[in-house]
């Protein structure tokens, strides 16, 4: 659909990101990790009206985890495979193709970095997101579900660790297998 401009975030983007996406602690943390080479924070922007007048509004994001996975099963079965994490689109802009654009932008970045596959974890109950990933060429791996820990950042800096059982879905990026091109 081509509705959003997707860019790798920089420190200067933080105030605008927090304005629409909240989660200041999370994004500060990810920007610091990005600076250390741990991953890439991609943000989708659309033109809109903000408190400061007309400008870009952050409408979604995905963090591409390039470092070794925290989960032993992922490190064992998919060593060195990047993970797409924390994909989200603001509530008022869902179902407009922005999530798809974020996924495709992340896949293109990974392809350019030499990756041949990509993976992600999705909560067992999140059928809507599972349907989206399946439509975009992701298939569930054959090694079973994985217990992950979601880190929830509360205002004030407190971190809550939330266990979540996930399906692991994988997509091949080889041109012969359809991707990462649309």
Residues that bind ligand COA (CB under 6 A): 87-89, 94-100, 122, 126, 128-129, 131-132
Cβ-based nearer residue to ligand COA, 11 or 139: 139
Q: How far is the CB of 165 from ligand COA (least distance, A)?
A: 13
Q: How far is the CB of 53 from ligand COA (least distance, A)?
A: 26
Residues 6+ apart with CB under 8 A from 78: 69, 117, 119, 141, 168, 170
Cβ-based nearer residue to ligand COA, 46 or 100: 100
Q: How far is the CB of 88 from ligand COA (least distance, A)?
A: 4
The answer to whether the CB of 43 falls within 8 A of the CB of 9 is yes
- The helix or strand, by DSSP H or E, that contains position 101, with its residue range, turns out to be helix 98-112
Inter-axis angle of helices 127-135 and 98-112, nearest 10: 50
Name the one residue in this structure whose structure tokens are 């741990």: 38
Cβ-based nearer residue to ligand COA, 99 or 179: 99
For 91, half-sphere exposure in the C-beta direction (CA atoms, 13 angstrom radius) is 1
Q: How many other CB atoms sit within 10 Å of the CB of residue 129?
A: 16
Cβ-based nearer residue to ligand COA, 11 or 154: 154
User: Any long-range contacts for 126-129 (C-beta under 8 Å, 24+ apart)?
Assistant: 129/87
Of all residues in this chain, which one has the CB nearest to ligand COA in the complex? Answer: 99
Q: How far is the CB of 43 from ligand COA (least distance, A)?
A: 13
Name the one residue in this structure whose structure tokens are 């200041």: 24
Cβ-based nearer residue to ligand COA, 36 or 95: 95
Q: How far is the CB of 104 from ligand COA (least distance, A)?
A: 9
């Amino acid at each position: 659909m081509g509705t959003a401009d997707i860019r790798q975030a920089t420190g200067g983007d933080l105030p605008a990101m927090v304005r629409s996406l909240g989660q200041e602690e999370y994004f500060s943390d990810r920007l610091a990790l990005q600076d250390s080479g741990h991953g890439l924070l991609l943000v989708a922007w659309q033109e809109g009206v903000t408190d400061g007048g007309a400008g870009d509004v952050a409408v979604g994001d995905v963090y591409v985890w390039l470092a070794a996975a925290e989960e032993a099963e992922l490190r064992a079965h998919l060593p060195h495979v990047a993970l797409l994490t924390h994909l989200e689109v603001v509530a008022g802009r869902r179902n407009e193709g922005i999530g798809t654009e974020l996924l495709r932008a992340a896949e293109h970045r990974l392809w350019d970095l030499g990756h041949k596959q990509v993976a992600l974890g999705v909560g067992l109950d999140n059928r809507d997101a599972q349907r989206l990933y399946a439509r975009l060429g992701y298939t569930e791996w054959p090694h079973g579900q994985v217990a992950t820990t979601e880190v929830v950042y509360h205002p004030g800096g407190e971190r809550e660790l939330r266990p979540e059982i996930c399906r692991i879905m994988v997509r091949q990026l080889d041109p012969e297998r359809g991707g990462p091109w649309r």
